[in-house]
Amino acid sequence: MRESILFFAWQDAEKVPEMCPLCKENDPVFEYRISPGEGAVDAGRDLKGYCCLSCAQQLLATLHELILVRWASEDPNPPED
């Protein structure tokens, strides 16, 4: 399984915190779930929570950077079979 990050509107409004637990400044607007993927230190352990728009943008930017680092480290000329 590859790592993934999901954002969605929550279904149980009673569980939603009043403030974003990441920045502690804004109202949360998204629920997120991050799956680290196989081979990761936290493989098999999803991270779940709520966040505001600003924190969601930061999480997506971090994921983008991680993907770019992975692509840069991959061999551009894989061996042929």
Consecutive sets of 10 residues in the chain, 81 residues long: mean pLDDT of each?
A: 66 80 91 72 73 90 84 73 60
Q: What is the pLDDT of residue 5?
A: 67
What is the pTM (predicted TM-score) of this model?
0.66
CB contact at 8 A, 56 and 30:
yes
Please compute Rg for the chain using Cα positions: 16
The tokens of 19 are what? 């403030």
